[in-house]
Amino acid sequence: MTETPHIDVFTDPLTPTSLIARTVRVFPSRPAVIHGALRWDYARFGDEVGRMAAALRRAGVDKGDRVAVLAPNTPWHLVATFAMPLLGAPLVSINTRLASAEVGYILEHSGAKVLLVDPQLAPVVDPIRAETPSLQRVVEIADEGAPARPGAEAYASFSAGVQPLPLVPGVEDELDVLSINYTSGTTGTPKGVMYTHRGGTLNAMGQIGSARLTKESVFLWTLPMFHCNGWCMPWAITAAGGAHVCLRAFDPEAIVRMLDKHRVTHFNGAPTALLMIAGAPNAAGKRFDPPLRVCTGGAPPSPTLLEQMEAIGFAVTHLYGLTETYGPHTLCEMQTEWEGYDVERRAEVMSRQGVPYLFAGHVRVVDEQMRDVPADATTMGEVVMRGNNVMRGYYDDPEATARAFRGGWFHSGDVGVMHPDGYIELRDRSKDIIVSGGENISTIEVEHAIVKHPAVQEAAVVGVPHDKWGEVPKAFVTLRPDAEVSERDLIDFVRGRLAHFKCPKSVEFGELPKTATGKIQKFKLREREWAGHTKRIH
């Protein structure tokens, strides 16, 4: 009888460390990181990862200890996304726009032992250090134009004299926690979403395929690295052997210049970020050829936006997911026959959220009894998921985890429909659906109609109180530079495209509140409109 070989022969735990180890071995001389005057090849990038890991180990960071990072899209933030997996220490990457109290909550809740902080953001941490007993070290990671402050512990001294650790994957269980990413906390305190080494690695591999990444790819970091670990793109680009172009701040004109200067092939961002780039003065009349590959998500892009992006040479792939799914869980796979559609029709089908990634496996639209709704593109239900890139759970919050996983599926809270071809399409967040006189109104549908007006740059629609109907739609609109349209004309424009009960009853013009990742914060608009009302009537 043939003896069964030891299991280690035919299995190997998945971890992002193996991705950078392979690229350093195969492409040591290829460009890895570009930032201002800084240029690292992959040999140097791997060396910096090993050095950071060694310095943290010398400081007492062991497997399972949490290490936080509060930094823009810098090379050091990028290094941290590999150094922590090498140590088996969960990375806690913090939103750079949070206030001191919010940062303090995340540090305390996660129990972070060390914080690596960009000097420009360090003042946010100063007021809360004494209130965070688990935080033993705060190290300032100096960057171009942002030196460590006098008296602070600088990374240069923190890492001085250490020998870089070899890039040898040390994880024994691929289901160990890779990182903890905190939600925005718009409906309560932020929740810590736990990613695993397996999930992060598989998501990175999925991104290579969906974005068509190769060793020739040049990726511009317009998407915050703190957001779902940059949609797992640090690991994906590195695995493909592509180059990372770092960017400290989102500046549309600077981005357009960098697209040309570095011959960028890929970047990601929310729809509002794409609008800002396309609307930059130095983007006027420009068309990129070959087209730049752009992944967008965070909000459903309107057909109007996709049409505009195609006109300037952005080949957009629409992704959908949440923090709880490592970022993307589905993508709108392009069908061959769509290429023959006119621009408007093609943009319409491409704005759907699509089908699961190869490794994600499952997405459904269900009613309250967890039954699949008809695939008729009309019947709405909640989008639920299962698969390799669904979170392990919420850190130190078993009750919230149980609620999210009820019925054996992750409940997204998003309302959508299933098309006959198996593609899902979002209609709203469950909390954003407007119930007016018993009729459900999708705010996304109304917003897509509004942005078809040539004067409109972007729009958000929320339900506002109404004595007779309970609530009715109100539109908040940002106009294009130098464009004009009256409230009455815009309402009439929408009434020519939608049933009248769906149309906004009023319009307010101005800037829209947004998160650091470019998502429009509808809850702020809704809270303002419902102030003084005891409840939202549904």
Q: Is residue 149 within 8 Å of 169, Cβ to Cβ?
A: no
pLDDT at position 537: 39
Question: What is the CB-side half-sphere exposure of residue 518 using CA atoms within 13 A?
Answer: 24
Q: Is residue 275 within 8 Å of 512, Cβ to Cβ?
A: no
pLDDT at position 493: 94
Overall size of the chain counted in residues: 538
Q: CA 79 to CA 423: how far, in whole Å?
A: 37
* Fold (CATH) for 434-530: GMP Synthetase; Chain A, domain 3 (3.30.300)
CATH number of 12-205: 3.40.50.980
What letter does residue 291 receive in the DSSP assignment?
Answer: P
Q: CA 457 to CA 451: how far, in whole Å?
A: 7
In Å, how far are 469, 473, 530 from 439, measured between CA atoms?
9, 12, 20
Task: For residue 324, give the amino acid letter.
Answer: E
Q: Is 212 left (phi over 0), alpha (psi -120 to 50) or beta?
A: left
pLDDT at position 399: 96
**In CATH, 250-429 is 3.40.50.12780:** yes
pLDDT at position 253: 95
Closest CA relative to residue 177, chosen from 405, 394, 19? 394
Residues of the chain with CATH 3.40.50.980: 12-205
Tokens of 310: 């195609």
Q: CA 314 to CA 311: how far, in whole Å?
A: 8
Q: How do the residues of the chain divide into helix, strand and coil, expressed in percent and rounded to 5?
A: 35, 25, 40
Helix (H) / strand (E) element for 193: namely strand 192-196
Q: CA 440 to CA 538: how far, in whole Å?
A: 10
Secondary structure (3-state) at 423: coil
Q: CA 476 to CA 169: how far, in whole Å?
A: 50
Tokens of 72: 């823009």
Closest CA relative to residue 97, chosen from 269, 219, 227? 227
pLDDT at position 406: 96
Residues of the chain with CATH 3.40.50.12780: 250-429
Residues of the chain with CATH 3.30.300.30: 434-530
One digit per residue, the tens of pLDDT, for the chain of length 538 reads: 555 555 578 888 999 999 999 999 999 999 999 999 999 999 999 999 999 999 999 999 999 999 999 999 999 999 999 999 999 999 999 999 888 988 999 999 999 999 999 999 999 999 999 889 999 999 999 998 899 999 999 999 999 999 999 999 878 899 999 999 998 755 567 899 999 999 999 999 999 998 999 999 999 999 999 999 999 999 999 999 999 999 999 999 999 999 999 999 999 988 878 888 988 999 988 999 899 999 998 766 777 788 888 889 999 999 999 999 999 999 999 999 998 998 778 888 888 999 999 888 799 999 999 999 999 999 989 999 999 989 999 999 999 999 999 999 999 988 899 999 999 998 877 778 787 876 678 788 899 889 999 999 999 999 998 887 778 999 999 999 989 999 999 999 999 888 788 899 999 999 999 876 677 888 889 888 888 765 443 4
Which backbone phi and psi does 336 adopt, to 5 degrees? -55, -40
